[in-house]
A = this chain, B = another copy of it.
Amino acid sequence: MSSVTVRAPATVSNVVCGFDCLGFALTEPFDEVTVSLRSQPGISIEPDAIFGLPTDPTENVAGVALAAFARAAGYDGGFEVTIRKGIKPGSGIGSSAASSCGAVFAANILLDQRFAPDELIGIAMSGEERASGSKHADNVAPCIMGGFVLVRSADPLDVVRLEHPPLWAALLHPQIEIRTAEARAMLPTQVPLADAVRNWSNLGAFVAALASGDLELLSRSMEDCIIEPARKRLIPGFDKVVAAARSAGTIGAGISGSGPSMFALCASEYDAHRTVAAMLEAFGESNIEVNTYLSPIDPEGVRIL
């Protein structure tokens, strides 16, 4: 085998009370990444022409991740990469993670699976670091592993695949740009201990609720008194959209990644349809274009197409 194509799914990170540690994978949208081996060193990238992504492999997240892969594998050949972006860059649903993960996952198949999934996460994180300016795993880890993933520690890497009931996500993506680094700079460097306690109590309850399938508890635990108040100012209509999602019977809603996408967790496909309709209607008053996505939580993560 000298060429392989994989689908690498979108992911939601910073899941309300799970800032910088909790993410989940969607079935759609996804990137298609094709990787071929070649004997001469170097990485050539043919990115999706639509989005004007860099072809220089030291600037493209997939190139950065593959260079890290080659170093880790002691591989002295090269790669040719073609990327068809299903996930719009800057949407806040793990676009760069998908390209990074797709590239290293495909390369790993071509090079006889020399790395285990958590090793691949560590390698793909270097692409993510290039994109966001910080090393975090809460998009990369669910993209590789599927489902809900808790990042106990990014360095050294320690990730936990969480048990969870079948769930759906409804997403609303306003077509505005929020840069991850900018959104990060808005955050407080210090937080009141009482707020921190409230957040970790909620995260503990969130994990317990996923494990037991208690959707009422899951709903109550989806509150964030630290990150959301700082970041929601960047997202027009945020409060209205979340209130509409709640009224439509969603389990809980919040900012996806560092925005601008907003997501809602739902108990069923029917609920997800109702919720996305309500979110869309609530947002509709503004003049910003939106995309919507509807997807089950993806149990598998990146895989061969």
Question: Which residue on chain B has the smallest CB distance to residue A205?
Answer: B152
Mark A184-215 against chain B: 1 for CB-CB distance below 8 A, else 0.
Answer: 00011111110011111111111111011010
How many chain A residues touch B (CB < 8 A): the figure is 42
A208-B160, A208-B211 are known contacts. Are A199 and B201 too (CB-CB below 8 A)?
no
B163, B188, B205, B221: which contacts A212 (Cβ < 8 A)?
Answer: B163
Copies in the complex: 2
Q: CB distance A150 to B204 under 8 Å? A: yes
Question: Which residues from 98 to 114 on chain A have a C-beta closer than 8 Å to any C-beta of chain B?
Answer: none
Q: Min CB distance, A82 to chain B, in Å? A: 36
Question: How many angstroms from the CA of A191 to the CA of B162 in the assembled complex?
Answer: 28
B18, B150, B151, B201: which contacts A151 (Cβ < 8 A)?
Answer: B201
Question: How many angstroms from the CA of A117 to the CA of B160 in the assembled complex?
Answer: 32
Question: Which residues from 156 to 192 on chain A have a C-beta closer than 8 Å to any C-beta of chain B?
Answer: 158, 160, 162-163, 187-192
Question: How many angstroms from the CA of A162 to the CA of B207 in the assembled complex?
Answer: 10
Task: Name which of A19-27, A60-68, A269-277, A295-303 contacts chain B.
Answer: A19-27
Q: Min CB distance, A257 to chain B, in Å? A: 15
Q: CB distance B152 to A201 under 8 Å? A: yes
Question: Which residue on chain B has the smallest CB distance to residue A214?
Answer: B160
A291 in the interface, Cβ–Cβ < 8 Å? no
Q: CB distance A200 to B211 under 8 Å? A: no
Question: How many angstroms from the CA of A220 to the CA of B150 in the assembled complex?
Answer: 14
Q: CB distance B189 to A191 under 8 Å? A: no
Q: CB distance B203 to A204 under 8 Å? A: yes
Question: How many angstroms from the CA of A207 to the CA of B206 in the assembled complex?
Answer: 9
Question: Which residues from 29 to 76 on chain A have a C-beta closer than 8 Å to any C-beta of chain B?
Answer: none
Question: Which residues from 206 to 234 on chain A have a C-beta closer than 8 Å to any C-beta of chain B?
Answer: 206-209, 211-212, 214, 217, 220-221, 226
Q: Which residues of B contact A198 (CB under 8 A)?
A: 153
Question: Which residue on chain B has the smallest CB distance to residue A156?
Answer: B220
Q: Which residues of B contact A153 (CB under 8 A)?
A: 198, 201, 220
Q: Which residues of B contact A152 (CB under 8 A)?
A: 201-202, 204-205, 217, 220-221
A17 in the interface, Cβ–Cβ < 8 Å? yes
Q: CB distance A205 to B163 under 8 Å? A: no
Q: CB distance B163 to A204 under 8 Å? A: no
Q: Which residues of B contact A208 (CB under 8 A)?
A: 150, 160, 162-163, 207, 211
Question: How many angstroms from the CA of A192 to the CA of B193 in the assembled complex?
Answer: 9
**Beyond the given A160-B205, A196-B226, could you list 10 further A-B residue pairs with CB under 8 A, ordered by the A residue number?**
A18-B200, A21-B200, A21-B201, A22-B204, A152-B202, A163-B208, A191-B196, A196-B200, A199-B200, A211-B211
